[in-house]
Amino acid sequence: MLGHGGLADYVHAAGQLLRDLPNLHVCFCGPKAGDLPYLVKMAGEDKVTFGSDFGFANWKILAEFLDNVWESGLAQSVLEKILYRNATHLLHLEERLL
> What does the pLDDT look like over 25-81, one tens digit per residue?
998 876 677 889 999 999 999 999 988 776 666 677 777 778 888 888 999 999 999
Helix axes 35-43, 7-20, angle to 10 degrees: 20
- Residue 9 pLDDT exceeds 70: yes
Dihedrals φ, ψ of 22, to 5°?
-65, -25
Closest CA to 5 of 71, 52, 74: 52
| Domain layout of the chain by residue ranges | 3-90
Residue pair 70/79 in contact (Cβ under 8 Å)? The answer is: yes
Which region holds residue 23: left if phi is over 0, alpha if psi is between -120 and 50, else beta? Answer: alpha
pTM over 0.75: yes
What is the per-residue pLDDT for 80?
96
Residue 95 identity (one-letter amino acid):
E
